[in-house]
Chains A and B, each alone.
Chain A
């Protein structure tokens, strides 16, 4: 959960299109890792985590195509599998992260000067919204 919070903070602190792209990359990587670790923890959440993982891969690939995507090595996240009972909380936390990620990417799409960046941000925002829709607890 700390990692999710850290990535969310990183995302909120991003102050330019390249910074949002970089933070977005890290966020999608984390979602992918968390979803893979959680999928088998609970039978009823397996479909949600499986499709969320796919959306995370798709979002990350969209960002990779952005012209303003900065280089630089980012250490991939390491995920400790949560206890079975915590899976639902983890899902909700990831949904929150994805919602924030979507908002920042939409915002960046509006600010980006390059058409390639705009498309990448919009595509990735759609994937983030899908992750949020899959993992949010709902009312």
Chain B
């Protein structure tokens, strides 16, 4: 069962509000329950505005740097609080009118309030209040929850609901007027009528405040999609991989669940790494290996889809795009292998202890393996090896190509979270003095009378940088898949929107553009090069940068800009390769270096000469990388 998302609560609330509004006048038989239901609903809307507002209305009155939507939610919040107060007074005035069962309208209003309260709770799962009383994020979605696109989308919903509810408050006022002498509302004093009428006016005012922002900064479809897709910051229940989970669709669903659990499980791992005995070097190494294997399997899946893409018409993504993403996956695997190999020479004080995240990563590997290989019982073991699943069986139709690509997207997005979290956790463990190296692996000048010694700073830095490279490579691949997901309209495109949103800076006054230069919008920055792109360097390319300089924050527009930069970089690279410009060494510039077989490379990564001596000087990154692959544990006389 998929986990709840904010859109589920919005949709349910929408239905109840529509039902309450559509109920005929005759159904306002009991004023008090309807007024109380409406009051509760307006109170929830008011709380939403409080959550979204950057400051209160008093501070806002002295500020001229607020964006249109920030101003809108402050103004709407003020109006809704007043409306809530008026409704409460009106409800209190009609409190004696409590005979009979609550009418259907009142039940719909109460149900809508409950749904929206649950939705608000869902959003709040992404935030936690620390002991100092400061709110901080507790999931990777927090940047989305607090983003401008979500502010726009949620602000728009609040305005829409306010406008829908205003006539209902007016109807209550009318009912109070008509039923004052005798009838069901005979106990309602005339003040109730004016309170409900006033509430109606304030609800209209809340709607108008939002409408003003809409004129300045319209809501995009992608904003609403993003808002509706926000999940709770809690993992879906584990579904153990089973051979019965045989269809490609089931495997893809399972991959999304495993990926979601993995993302969720990585939270706060940095904090735990300082002290938890369950966080071990063996666990980090196993995760790096699982990441490398995930890349390997994902690459095979994408190659298979690329083959299939050439046979399928009307596919929104091309064979070339899928092959390019697969190529990116190969580079990512190499980066994770480097992390894995570094752990050969470094340990924590405890041996590997299995953890929940390892279980989820293991589920992910199993499901990807069963997707790629034609064996429902596949495991990494030699005994379970099988032929590749035929591309036509994996993706008989275009929709299946999208589904499998989305599953791979989910897996790689989860690995991006792993790379970041494990990198931070390793830094924390390093700072806490939890990393050790075998004394035998240290030069003779280290006089340590124990088998293991604290890891030298240089070794910790190499590890830190290697995790950084793995993160860069993973993000680069994830962005390549972002583009494909958006182009194909895959269900995983919300991951792309979330990533793009987290990159968007709020256009606050005084903010520099990302590169910090002062190039006027519309003109390429001086020295701008199409060698810079999300795929090549992970940074904004010239088109994306120019769009950002205009203050554009629409994730779809930014993704399109990044795609143009990536395409330009690929074209230039192809042109360079084709040109084959000679160089002094006699080889062509575009010619690929002959590096031997992968196994030869693997063998080269195990040199057996003496270790480099420790130095207080910081070596260059390339030197450290070279050294990292050269570290080897050897036994020496003690």
A-side residues, CB < 8 A to B, are 25, 29, 32-33, 36-41, 43-48, 50-51, 53-54, 57-58, 60-62, 64-65, 69, 71-76, 78-82, 88, 91-92, 95, 123, 133-139
Known: A54-B285, A73-B637, A137-B382. A41 touches B599 (CB 8 A): yes
Indicate if B218 sits at the interface (CB-CB under 8 A): no
Known: A46-B293, A54-B286. A71 touches B635 (CB 8 A): yes
Given contacts A37-B602, A73-B635, A81-B603, 15 further A-B contacts (CB under 8 A): A36-B606, A38-B599, A40-B597, A50-B292, A53-B340, A54-B282, A54-B286, A54-B289, A58-B282, A64-B451, A73-B637, A81-B599, A95-B382, A136-B383, A137-B382
Contacts of B601 in A (CB 8 A): 40
Q: How far is the CA of A47 from the CA of B344 in the complex (A)?
A: 18
Is the CB–CB distance between B383 and A138 below 8 Å?
Answer: yes
Residue of B nearest to A119 (CB): B351
Contacts of B636 in A (CB 8 A): 71, 73
B382: contacting residue among A45, A58, A61, CB under 8 A: A45
Q: How far is the CA of A48 from the CA of B381 in the complex (A)?
A: 5
Q: How far is the CA of A88 from the CA of B381 in the complex (A)?
A: 12
Contacts of B285 in A (CB 8 A): 54, 57-58
Is the CB–CB distance between A44 and B606 below 8 Å?
Answer: no
Task: Identify whether the interface residues of A are mostly helix, strand, loop, or mixed.
Answer: helix
Indicate if B272 sits at the interface (CB-CB under 8 A): no
Is the CB–CB distance between B382 and A135 below 8 Å?
Answer: yes
A81: contacting residue among B293, B600, B632, CB under 8 A: B600
Is the CB–CB distance between B603 and A136 below 8 Å?
Answer: no
B-side residues, CB < 8 A to A, are 282, 285-286, 289, 292-293, 296-297, 300, 340-341, 343-344, 347, 351-352, 365, 369, 373, 380-386, 438, 451-452, 597-603, 605-606, 608, 632-638
Is the CB–CB distance between B602 and A81 below 8 Å?
Answer: yes
Known: A37-B602, A81-B599. A47 touches B637 (CB 8 A): no
Is the CB–CB distance between A73 and B373 below 8 Å?
Answer: no
Known: A88-B382, A95-B382. A46 touches B599 (CB 8 A): no
Known: A73-B634, A73-B635, A73-B636. A79 touches B603 (CB 8 A): yes
Within the complex, what minimum Cβ distance (angstroms) separates B340 from chain A?
A: 7
Contacts of A61 in B (CB 8 A): 282, 347, 351
A40: contacting residue among B286, B341, B598, B633, CB under 8 A: B598
Q: How far is the CA of A95 from the CA of B633 in the complex (A)?
A: 23
Is the CB–CB distance between B351 and A58 below 8 Å?
Answer: yes
Contacts of B289 in A (CB 8 A): 50-51, 53-54
Contacts of A57 in B (CB 8 A): 285, 343-344
Q: How far is the CA of A5 from the CA of B344 in the complex (A)?
A: 24
Within the complex, what minimum Cβ distance (angstroms) separates B343 from chain A?
A: 7
Known: A43-B296, A72-B637, A74-B634. A37 touches B599 (CB 8 A): yes
Contacts of B605 in A (CB 8 A): 36
Within the complex, what minimum Cβ distance (angstroms) separates A21 from chain B?
A: 11
Contacts of B297 in A (CB 8 A): 47
Known: A44-B373, A72-B635, A75-B608. A62 touches B386 (CB 8 A): no
